[in-house]
Amino acid sequence: MSWGTNVLVGQSGGPTAVINSSLAGVYEAAKALGAAHVYGMEYGIQGLLQGKIVDLDDRLDDKMEIELLKRTPSSYLGSCRFKLPNPATDERPFVQLFELFAKYCIGAVFYIGGNDSMDTIAKLSAYGAAKGSEIRFIGVPKTIDNDLMYTDHTPGYGSAAKYIATILKEVICDSSVYNIRSVTVAEIMGRHTGWLAGAASLAAGADCNGPDIILLPERPFDENVFLEKVAQLEKDRHNVIIAASEGVKNKDGVFLCDLVSTAGQLDAFGHKAILSGTSRYLADLIHVRLGCKTRAIEFSTLQRCASHLASRTDITEAYQVGGASVEAAYRGETGKMCAIRRISDMPYRTETEMVDVQKVANLEKRVPDDWISPDGMHVTESFHHYARPLIQAELTPIYIDGVPRHLHLH
């Protein structure tokens, strides 16, 4: 079947360790299915509106570059956080975009991103349908937050979870060096959901107890109950380890980080652009109320793009959803997102399926209630069974002169 001469792919939202593996999957599948050219949006839909387009055939012309791309962290094409307006109130960007699609003979558009990026695909596909366009619009899932609906998990999460579990194990070793009672609070990303904070529990094993407390946004923070728990733990052990999500709120709905700083601005989609300070607030609270030594650690952006600790499972699945998205467009599907469906845990097996992007856009998947401990300060074995397969195996970086080699657009 014919689907237009060329295809277009972009990346949006926060970067991950494996988003470029999805780009590689899109590129190789598109070329295999006969696309004459694969174009890339520089800096997402925002860059596209500024005419920033690159011909990827000039950049990814051999297998080594594809392998480097899979191992390159962050977004090779650049990214943006740009919200398209409702075309009923402002049609101008849609007119401009569809003129660009016509100029470059685009038959399919792929957008790699999270729930906000699915909003872009939903609007483009709806507008295209209303105008009788035959262009196919497909969302390719990506987010370390793992909060996309209608998919078992999201590429990017497994690698971030692997990094968090690994680094927290090392923090636990570090904190036990001195014969001094102390409390360490590690702050973990995740926005409004606790998938990443819960991944801290994966540090536990035969050689490590893992964190003593995990605070998730799914449960309101109760200061008195929390301090009582910390005080009890401190009696039993020298070093108490707490993993706290950046998005934890108190019973009044106030972010704990806002009790340290109110500098958090909103992005184009109405989300707090920066959630930072939760670990400092908790460390200060414990020090003042319990009088013990405390330390606050923020993993910050390091957990997003640690390709040297990427999960091979994650890299493989990211590549697969890229390829499956192209195959779906080739079959004639549009207005869809490529999701992952888990078939079994032991052995771990998955397959891809297409879901209506309108059901995904702007929504958030939260950690199930029964995966959170009754006291709200840890996760259960059900969480471990879910997350453990996602962090398995490694893909060794290609080292040159002692450091990993990456692929750059500019």
CA distances from 272 to 178, 262, 275, 381 (A): 38, 11, 7, 31
* Cα atoms in the Cβ-side hemisphere of radius 13 Å centred on 23: 39
Q: Which two tokens stand for residue 240?
A: 């108490």
Q: What are the C-alpha distances in Å from 326 to residues 83, 111, 154, 182, 217?
A: 24, 11, 18, 52, 35
Between strands 403-404 and 239-245, the pairing is unpaired
106: left (phi over 0), alpha (psi -120 to 50) or beta: beta
**Looking at residue 269, what is its pLDDT?**
46
Q: Does residue 385 lie in a domain region?
A: no
| Residues 80, 19 share a domain | yes
Residue 128 in domain: yes
Cα distance between the two ends of the chain? 35
Q: Which domain holds residue 356?
A: 6-143+307-361
- Which of 272, 303, 334 is a domain's end point? 303
Domain contains 47: yes
If asked whether residues 228 and 346 sit together in one domain, one would say no
The residue among 335, 361, 387 that closes a domain is 361
Domain assignment present for residue 400? The answer is: no
> What single-letter amino acid sits at 112?
I
pLDDT in tens, the chain (410 residues): 355 689 999 999 999 999 999 999 999 999 999 999 999 999 999 999 999 999 999 999 899 999 999 999 999 999 999 999 999 999 999 999 999 999 999 999 999 999 889 999 999 999 999 999 999 999 999 999 999 999 999 999 999 999 999 999 999 999 999 999 999 999 999 989 999 999 999 999 999 999 999 999 999 999 999 999 999 999 999 899 999 999 999 999 999 999 986 445 544 444 454 578 999 999 999 999 999 999 999 999 999 999 999 999 999 999 999 999 999 999 999 999 999 999 999 999 999 999 999 999 989 999 999 999 999 999 999 999 999 999 999 999 999 999 999 999 98
Among 4, 24, 87, CA closest to 321: 24
Assigned domain for 102 exists: yes
Distance in angstroms (rounded) separating the CA atoms of residues 266 and 13: 14
Point out the catalytic residue in the list 145, 147, 212, 314. Answer: 145
We report the CATH number of the domain holding residue 13 as: 3.40.50.450
Question: Are 255 and 332 in a shared domain?
Answer: no
Please check whether residue 208 lies inside any domain of the structure. yes
**Sign of the four-CA dihedral 43, 160, 287, 226:** positive
**Does any domain span residue 381?**
no
Give the pLDDT confidence score for residue 64 in this predicted structure.
95
Half-sphere exposure of 247 (CA within 13 A, CB side): 19
Same domain, 329 and 351: yes
**Do the beta carbons of residue 371 and residue 386 sit within 8 Å?**
yes
- Same domain assignment for residues 216 and 271: yes
Kindly state whether residues 25 and 102 are assigned to the same domain. yes
- Report how many domains make up the chain: 2
- Residue 111, H or E segment: strand 106-113
Do 90 and 182 have their domain in common? no
User: Which three-class secondary structure state does DSSP give residue 120?
Assistant: helix
Quick check: is 145 catalytic? yes
User: Amino acid identity, residue 97?
Assistant: L
DSSP state of 140: E
Task: CATH number of the domain at 263, please.
Answer: 3.40.50.460
pTM of the model: 0.95
DSSP-assigned beta bridge partners for residue 106: 6
Domain end (from 361, 379, 402): 361
Indicate if 194 and 266 belong to the same structural domain: yes
Here the tokens at position 111 are: 């957008």
Q: CA-CA distances (angstroms) from residue 337 to 133, 354, 356, 361?
A: 19, 6, 6, 10
How many angstroms separate the Cα of 31 from the Cα of each of 306, 324, 400? Answer: 29, 13, 29
Does residue 223 sit in the same domain as residue 188?
Answer: yes
Would residue 366 count as lying in a domain?
Answer: no
Indicate if 213 and 279 belong to the same structural domain. yes
Same domain, residue pair 296 and 331? no
Instruction: Let me know whether 180 and 106 are in one domain.
Output: no
